[in-house]
Amino acid sequence: MECRTNHLVSFIEKTVKKYGLGRENLLPVLREINEEFGYVSGSAFIEINRLMDISIGEIHGVATFYSFINTENKGRFVIRLCQTISCDMSGKDKIKKTLEKELGITFGQSTPDGLFTLEYANCMGLCDKGPAMLVNSDLHDSLTPESTLDIISEYRRKR
């Protein structure tokens, strides 16, 4: 398990103070930690437990229930491609192949430079605009291989 840094501890303290100590505030706290650090580490679980008096098991359960909360270090940009039947019928496989070819990885992997991670996700609520994907929290719909390459280029520029 990684060491708790001063930045991690102070960020969690500030975030818990912002939302409050109640269990109903656990998810917003987890989301902010995930956004700041790219994932919620074991050390973060310990700090949340210490500050909010919620068991580590419950914190882990909430964190792993939601696909948008990472519990392991991933690429700076996590690309989640919708895998529902609607997106399948709209051309998801072309987008999958485009992403894998362009990034040189398969789904479930991260690029060696730590910039991208490919994952699947379930419904994003864009069934009429598929195929769709999330890059971190940014939604992209009506994807084509060409628009997918443009999106990847845009995120590469954001390094």
Alpha helices in 42-108 (DSSP H): 42-52, 56-65, 85-89, 92-103
Q: What pLDDT score does 3 carry?
A: 52
In a domain, 70, yes or no: no
Chosen domain end from 14, 43, 65:
65
Q: Would the pTM count as exceeding 0.75?
A: no
Report residue 41 as tokens. Answer: 């580490």
Q: How far are the Cα atoms of 61, 87, 92, 116, 145 from residue 152, in angstroms, in the given order?
A: 32, 19, 16, 9, 11
- Cα angle 84-67-71, degrees, rounded to a multiple of 5: 150
Q: What is the pLDDT along the chain (159 residues), one digit of tens a residue?
A: 455 688 999 999 999 999 999 999 999 999 999 988 889 999 999 999 999 999 999 999 999 988 788 898 888 899 999 999 999 999 999 999 999 999 999 999 999 998 999 999 988 888 899 999 999 889 999 999 999 999 999 999 987
Q: Residue 20 belongs to what domain range? A: 6-65
Domain membership flag for residue 141: yes
